[in-house]
Structure 1
Amino acid sequence: MNTWTANQLGKGEYAEVNGINLYYETHGEGRPLILLHGGLGSGEMFGPLIGPFAQGHQVILPDLQGHGRTADIDRPIDIKHMADDIAALIDHLGLVKPDVVGYSLGGGVALLLAIRHPEKVGRLVTASAGIRRNATYPEILEQQGQVGPEAAEFMKETPMYELYSRVAPRPEDFPRLLGKIGESMAVDYDYTEEVRNLQVPTLIVAADADMCPPSHFVEVFGLLDGGLRDGGWMGEGRPKGGHALAILPGLTHYNIFMSPLFATAALEFVDRAE
């Protein structure tokens, strides 16, 4: 049983944007909300959470470059490029400041979308996405260093491969995707200054046992004027930009994206009255 499979079908289409033929599904009706999946997955990996997100929202569920039903193109896997893809998709669909929710790789893409194209985003939820490479636990960085084309054979029994082999336009490209993901994870990054100047109301989400320690996500919240003083009886001491933090209990990097707690926290934030 693949728990990464969606329990409801949406309307799937392709959009030629930013030099890529981007697959996306649409679920539900209401204010638009873009939901971005994690690395080696697809929009389908959110499974049963798609239903709650689609209650009261038009959920746009893209498959990022080289993932799911979106074929790879001749460029590196880079969250900056993928953020620009989503910005182009927003324009293509004529969306006006949709809310954006992203997990892991998708959380990084969502963050870079808000940094590079703040005028296109309503509210932002970025989950399980550290803003500095060295915030990730050293043993995880070591494991990431082993991801490459040669790892494809060892991943044949994983949900990632099952999903990819079932939906990808070219299932034989799985080793190529692993190679590109491995190369992207080896690149150093630090978005401290960009986060400090973030203009989009942002919810930072993490599991209490994530790839980075909870203290890192508290640090990110601090860059957004959070956790620096008492919030006050009327919330007057909360972060000036409308930012928030959620550390979700009893979860890890590998199951937070399927947790009802994730959907609840994200929806409470994006639906919050101004």
Structure 2
Amino acid sequence: MDTTHYGRNKAVGKYADIRGIRMYYEVYGKGEPLLIIHGNGGSINNFLYQIPYFAKKYQVILADSRAQGKTIDHKDSLSYEMISDDLDALLDHLRIKNANVIGWSDGGIEGLLLAINHPDKVKKLAVTGANLRPDTTAVDPFLQKMVMDAYHKGVDSLKTINQPAVALKDHLKLLHLLTHEPHIKIEDLKKITCPVLVIGGDHDVINTRHTLEIFENIPKAYLWIVSDSGHATPLNYKDLFNKVVGDFLNKPYRSIEKTDRLN
């Protein structure tokens, strides 16, 4: 059982009024800013193993994304672009010019969009389990069908309920994200100027070939495929994940071309 206070820390938890919502966030540590972004239906608490590790060196910023955790948003629309723009606004609210970014799953998608649409805000970016599109060229077919079936079942249930609960409608918004988005173009990946570490488990929800596709189309990128790993690398391989991502953030990016490939 999780006994940490992350995601419910009254001592540091605050709200920022941005873009029509009250975004809940927490900040730990001092140093260079590091924004960490959770996945679909998640919260700050998902990074209970990363927060204490990175807070030793960085000012770690985490937020509950729109319509998730303590950040309430009952409006009908929700998109990855909205969430990444929220995070951009949060950094402005905190008067942070730019930050390193770690994103897991949907957080990885939002990290990519942040680097594409707000390039001045991202110094370095590490993404794990991210995808560019919602179809089976990117997502494991079994799991893609499972989530799609859950979405359609939920939509059908709305038709039989006179006054559906707000929680059900919010849940369907998140399922709609998984089943109908994102739609990030390859040419947009090529616009990313910051160094990026692209991570995936060799048995991830996201197909390994798709993770490779992301890596190959970002100009300054490293690739790390974790063996014997599914989607939850930050949890199941927490020590290794923290070290590899920490080294990526600490060391200057180097281009490995021509004869350097021999080293």
Same fold by TM-score, threshold 0.5 exceeded? yes
SS state at 2:40 partner: coil
1:27–1:173 Cα change, 3 Å:
farther
Of the three residues 241, 247, 251, the one matched with 1:268 is 247
Whether 1:185 and 2:188 are equivalent positions in the alignment is no
Higher mean C-alpha displacement, 109-118 vs 182-191: 182-191
Relative distance call for 1:250 and 1:57 in structure 2 (3 A) is same
Residues 7 and 72 from structure 1, CA distance in 2 versus in 1: closer, same or farther, beyond 3 angstroms? closer
Show CA shifts across 1:160-210 (max 9, x none): xxxxxxxxxxxx743222210122223252432211221121111111210
Q: Could you say which residue in structure 2 is the equivalent of 1:205? A: 199
Q: 1:90 aligns to what SS in structure 2?
A: helix
Question: Which residue in 1 is equivalent to 2:161?
Answer: none
1:44 maps to 45
Match of 1:147 among 138, 147, 150: 150
Q: What TM-score does the superposition give when structure 1 sets the normalisation length? A: 0.79
- Please give the alpha-carbon distance, in whole angstroms, between the structure 2 residues aligned to 1:40 and 1:56: 28
Residue 245 of structure 1 is aligned with which of 223, 226, 229?
Answer: 223
**Structure-1 separation of matches of 2:173 and 2:216:** 33
Counterpart Cα distance in 1 of 2:225 and 2:29: 28
SS of residue matched to 1:32: strand
Deviation of 1:249 (Å) = 2.2
Q: Give the C-alpha shift of residue 133 in structure 1.
A: 2.2
User: Could you say what secondary structure the match of 1:84 adopts?
Assistant: helix
Contact between 2:23 and 2:63, CA under 8 Å: does it hold in 1? yes
Does the alignment pair 1:87 with 2:81? no
Unaligned stretches of 5+ in structure 2? 155-164, 254-263
CA distance in 2, matches of 1:268, 1:49: 14
SS of alignment partner, residue 131 of structure 2:
coil
Determine what percentage of the aligned residue pairs are the same residue. Answer: 30
Tell me the equivalent position of 2:139.
136
RMSD: 2.3
Are the equivalent residues in 2 in contact too, given 1:218–1:245 (CA < 8 A)?
yes
Q: Partners of 1:18 and 1:84 in 2: how far apart?
A: 9
Query: 1:150–1:266: structure 2 CA closer, same or farther, 3 Å change rule?
Result: same
